[in-house]
Chains A and B, each alone.
Chain A
Amino acid sequence: MQKTVLFFLSAFVLLFTACETPVDMDIPRAETITVAFASQSYNDTLQVYIARTQHIYDTTRYRGCDSTAEAFVIHNGTQVPLRYNGNRFVAEGLSAQPGDTVALQVIGAEGGHTIAQTLIPESTIAHSIEITPSALLIEDVYYSKVQLSFDDPSGETNYYEFSLTVTQIKDDSASSFGYHYFRSFDPIMVNEDIMQYEPITMLFSDAMFNGSQVSIPMYYSLFFITETLQKVIVVSELRSVTREHYNYFKSLYKFMYNESGIWSGMTLPFSVNGNIENGAGLFSLFTSTRDTVAYDFR
């Protein structure tokens, strides 16, 4: 009987054994384009990451910022050069305000221009946040309930990003909690189609509540109480972001969810939407309000 079973199983395994062979596919060298990335609060010192694309067959990993690039920001007609500080390109003395337009210009090695532009959103409406620790246990993970409330201004569509940063203090040492992410069952969040990607920040628009006062429940794998835990500091940040920022990070989530695809063969081609003309990446400034809550377990 066992032999018969093994025979059929072998026959079946043979039937569906996959074979993997290399393919000699000539992928022409595509034009190298500029990559630029900056996504930060408008009133922090502007720091821009600038690099170049590589051929897909290039085995070199991350090469770092391209220090040879020449870049400027343009604000109110004034051109401010960006200086490379060994890690990023920074612009000092930029005094942009909500409602202003700031442009980024990068001159490539071949002389080509890459341009991006961002309109700083108006100031974020103040928000309140209630945190209920350990409100939910799902698959051995404790989630704290986070209730975010704020007033949405009426008019054009507004885009938001909500984040939480957790610092745990254990036995007089500060340490981070590690990987944590949001869950939500609220229609506003579910409609954004990013829950399945275990988002570390919540991106949403006011399409379902434009001009209203809104209170959105979420769950966050915040922290769990242990014997050594002394204090937890939670910093919540509600950002008003641009539509380009919203589109970029939503598509980034989907991309990261599928990124193993080119290494596994199970993904459809998908590029991340940026706002860099003749290039890739994102240039975006946002406004935000922060709220800090501390939990003392001593």
Chain B
Amino acid sequence: MISDKKNRYSVSHNLILLVFIIALLMQKGVTGQAISGFVSDSKSGERLLYAGIYLANTAKGTSTNGYGFFSITPGLPQGDPVVLVITYVGYLSDTLMLNNLMKDTLVNIRLKAGLELRPVEIISGNSSGGTSSPGMHRLTAQVIKSLPALGGETDLIKVYQLTPGVQQGHEGTSGLHVRGGSPDQNLIMLDDVPLYNINHLGGFISAFNTDAIKSSTLIKGGFPARFGGRLSSVLDVSMADGNLSKTSGNLSLGIISARFSLNGPIRKNESSYLISFRRFYFDLIAKPLAQRANSGSTVGYNFYDLNIKLSRIINTNNRVYFSLYNGDDKTLAGFREKTDDGTDFYMQTNRWGNTMAALRWNHLFSSRLFSNTILHFTRYRVNNQLESETSNGNNKYITENQLLSGIGEISLKPGTEYYINPETRIYSGIQLTYRYFRPNNYTYYVSDGNQQFQSGHNHKMLMQAFEGIIYFGGKITRPAGHTLELGGRINTFTINNRFYIIPEPRIKANFHHNKNLNSFVSFDQMSQNMHITGNNSIGMPVEYLLPATKSIPPSLMKQLSAGLEYRSGNGIIYTSELYYKHFSQLAMLKDGASLWEGRENWEALFAGNGKGRAYGAEFMATRNEGNPTGWISYTLARSERKFDEINNGLIFPDQFDVRHCINIAMMLKIDEDADLSLAWVFNSGYRLTLPVSKYYVPVEAGDYTHMNEMYIYSRRNEFKTKPYHRLDISFNFHKQKKRYLRTFTLGIINLYNQRNPNAFYFTEIENFGPNNTRYKRITLMQRSFFPFMSNVGWSIRF
């Protein structure tokens, strides 16, 4: 339990929320009929999320929710015509006139895509041009696909790394360091289901196949109450539903991977499917080459992603969806060779990946009451196996070594939204989750082929936890356009007879000063019931997912943010935002601690009760209309940590405490068949810890002693790397063929060949001095990936 003092504070907060909700419920329902329904794409039937709807007569408005549903009560005198205007970026606006509205009416609005498809759109906040939301960026699949990509493989995470307040971590990785947070503090969801470790290829590419994605939203502040479980951000990715009218698809080939997707109706206008597959194919080349070089050798790496979605409209009030994702990385290296006496065999296989399945049901109880219920399963696991066999005449020796680590959960999440009137909306829901952790199961045995003559040490750890969450909130919009949203979550977490209850209040207020100027302020409290350790920065599967326990309790974060948004007359949107975050009860592995080979008392390896703070200012100018489109952003930020058992208890900078960060992304339409995009990133360098002194001590090695070189390190993260910057550029050439649209992509990553560091190491360099004297010099070196590189891709869309 949280301490009594905190409980009293939290209880008073909850009382305020309860009073607010009761007040909302007591809002006089407008005696008028409600118009509700869904907004979707006229061709494919895809639901359009966060589309704007407003009443032409009154300028009152609303937007579709995260499932494409809206409800609006005009409140006009009976007999007056009701004119709704519906807008969505990339689509032609539409109007709907309803005469003699006598009862609640359900409508389905279908928008046509714009005649000139804007190649890129980035939306900060809501899409409709109404009030903005603090700390949120929304990307469509179009934006993601248009920007330069490594090996021709567009990546959602890479594009978000170009937005203010988000650091990428080490060169080329898929880490998201959001406002001073670490990658384990991001809740990453696909169709409302959490995914863990979304990294392929050491973090160079994420698990999201852009062909399967409809839209995504990164929330850094002003968190809606239905989101929680992580401290720093929520990345909410929605899969496309599938075309209800006709079959379409695309095929893409890049330097490193191939993608194929197909979607269409199962029964026209009633049910649809989407299937999307991506595979990395380097192993198809490397494997035969390795065998050719040394027969019997095997080496390879591959990954794949499979997305499947099925949707069915049962009737006007009911729609169900089924989502499936399976992705895996696999490396293998080994050999099998015949010797004079027998055979030698060695094979090391590493696999890691996610599987998720979700069943979702949207139900309309009435024109004002919408519900969304999800039942999901998600699992992430790492499986490292080492097998060897040596046979020698009649003797055979077999060893097997397996390390298994993972996490899984089953969860039920029903939620509702009730539209009391155009100005007032309340929502609530519960989330019940059973979660298991297998942080480090290790088995090792030796056998002579007939029996195990030495049982290895088997270490199996299974931890089970139960999480129950209630969330609730309400949003009021005043006639002047100001909105106030109050909400909260009650997070309960049970593990090993230990019970935690943590309230998470959320407050968000937008102020609409005039048609061009909005301001906002928000306060969030977040908690995280699990700790993810390991070398997050290089994205290799060495992460361990561990639950909070009695000795390492859930981590907490409080954030206050405020900002302005100004929409100029020439289509540019200027935003600025200030934030301050405070972390508490953080946990990280102590210096030198390792979870390898299993350990009963793994909690002792952690330094707990850590604190941290992060604060900064973000500025962004976005152009969504005209040509070119894109954005420029600048972030000034600071992030630091403090642990009693690390750095002698002194405050130290976070590794990705990057003071200045500038991002430029631009998309230019050259003509009807060609467009250009570029991305330039700059940051002032990240932090590292270096050895500053060395000494020698005697170390016994059996019956002899050698002098071992030892190091004394600087204070944690005392040093700073040089600034990082890189320019990527990409050209897309389109050609409309009879039955498909062909796109050829040609680009360059790191156009001016900037050597940005991925790792540092020391080396001894021999130099020549005056009179040809030799001398040695110890030098710090940096290792960089991604020199000047070409980027080629080919795709067809039919």
Contacts and interface: CB of A to CB of B under 8 A. Distances in A.
A55 B712 CA distance: 10
Interface of B is mostly: strand
B697 A264 contact: no
Contact of B780 (A23, A32, A51): A23
B784 interface: yes
Contact of A8 (B285, B775, B776): B285
Contacts of B446: 136, 138
B26 interface: no
A19 B761 contact: no
Given A19-B784, A176-B703, A179-B702, 17 more contacts: A11-B792, A17-B785, A23-B721, A23-B722, A23-B760, A23-B782, A27-B692, A37-B697, A56-B690, A56-B692, A138-B399, A139-B390, A191-B601, A193-B597, A193-B599, A259-B709, A265-B761
A269 B652 CA distance: 14
Interface string B740-781: 000000000000000101111111110000000001111111
Interface in A1-55: 5, 8-9, 11-12, 14-23, 25, 27-28, 30, 32-33, 35, 37, 49, 51-55
Nearest to B282: A12
Contacts of A15: 150-151, 255-256, 786, 789
Contacts of B314: none
Interface residues of B, number: 84
Contacts of B601: 191
Nearest to B691: A56
Interface string A242-261: 00000000011011100101
A200 B787 CA distance: 44
B9 interface: no
Nearest to A175: B703
Interface string A135-172: 01111100000000000000000000000011100000
A110 interface: no
B535 to A, nearest CB: 8
Nearest to A258: B592
12 contacts: A9-B289, A11-B255, A18-B783, A20-B783, A21-B782, A33-B712, A54-B695, A200-B700, A200-B701, A265-B759, A265-B761, A280-B697
Interface of A: 5, 8-9, 11-12, 14-23, 25, 27-28, 30, 32-33, 35, 37, 49, 51-59, 62-63, 136-140, 165-167, 176-180, 185-187, 190-191, 193, 195-196, 200-201, 251-252, 254-256, 259, 261-266, 268-272, 280-282
Interface string B595-626: 01111110000000000000000000000000
B719 interface: yes
B710 A269 contact: no
B592 A136 contact: no
A263 B762 CA distance: 5
B592 A254 contact: yes
A110 B694 CA distance: 19
Interface stretch (B266-274, B449-457, B498-506, B668-676): B449-457
B390 to A, nearest CB: 7
B1 interface: no
Nearest to B344: A140
Given A9-B289, A200-B701, A58 B708 contact: no
Contacts of B755: 19, 21
Given A136-B454, A185-B456, A263 B709 contact: no
A62 B695 CA distance: 8
B256 A280 contact: no
At the interface, is chain A mostly helix, strand, loop or mixed? Answer: mixed
A269 B255 contact: no
Contacts of B701: 179, 200
B702 A19 contact: no
Interface string B237-263: 000000000000000000110000000
Contact of B779 (A22, A140, A179): A22
B124 interface: no
A18 B784 contact: yes
B698 interface: yes
A185 B710 contact: no
A27 B690 contact: yes
Contacts of A269: 591, 689-691, 713, 716
Contacts, number: 216
Interface string B43-60: 000000000000000000
A262 B761 contact: yes
Nearest to B538: A266
Contact of A265 (B397, B695, B760): B760
Nearest to B764: A59
A19 B789 CA distance: 13
A55 B789 CA distance: 39
A265 B691 CA distance: 12
Interface in B709-742: 709-714, 716, 719, 721-722
B694 A53 contact: yes
B6 interface: no
Residue from A21, A165, A193, A280 with most neighbouring chain B CB atoms (10 Å)? A193
B782 A51 contact: no
B478 interface: no
B455 to A, nearest CB: 7
B591 A271 contact: yes
B276 to A, nearest CB: 23
B783 A51 contact: no
Contact of A255 (B707, B710, B722, B783): B710
A191 B596 CA distance: 10
B497 interface: no
Contacts of B99: none
A272 to B, nearest CB: 6
B712 A265 contact: no
B710 A280 contact: yes
Contacts of A62: 696, 707, 709
Contacts of A21: 755, 781-782, 784
Contacts of B454: 136, 185
B691 A251 contact: no
A266 B598 CA distance: 22
A25 to B, nearest CB: 5
Interface string B282-321: 1001100100000000000000000000000000000000
B719 A139 contact: no
Contacts of A30: 692-693, 712, 714
Contacts of B453: 136
Contacts of A254: 592, 594
B702 A165 contact: yes
Contacts of B782: 20-23
A258 B468 CA distance: 42
